[in-house]
Amino acid sequence: MITIIILSVILGISLFVNINQLRKQESQAEYIDDLENSNTNFYTHFEQLKQKLSEANSEIRNIDRLGAFESSDEVGTAFRVIRDVLEDLNKRID
């Protein structure tokens, strides 16, 4: 009789521990899925940003292929700043 009570208590504790571990594992699995989705979204956003910066840099170079903007005093200063920022961003992203 005592063995049945002891085994029942051990079985109850084992069930509680196993259920608790299952809940923790499910929670971790959901967290990992969310983290993977977040990483995928960030990678996609980063690739799009990289492509847009490359296009903007190409467009800036194409706009001033004759050097008309760069040689102007007021416009040239702003143009050089924008061009330098785009080139720095391109270098850091690649």
Q: What is the pLDDT of residues 36-83, one digit of tens each?
A: 999 999 999 989 988 888 888 888 878 777 666 666 667 777 778 888
d(CA 51, CA 77): 25
Q: Among positive and negative, which fits the CA dihedral 17, 20, 25, 28? A: negative
How far is it, in rounded angstroms, from Cα 34 to Cα 79? 42
State residue 64's pLDDT score.
73
DSSP label at 65? T
Which pLDDT score, from 0 to 100, does residue 69 have? Answer: 67
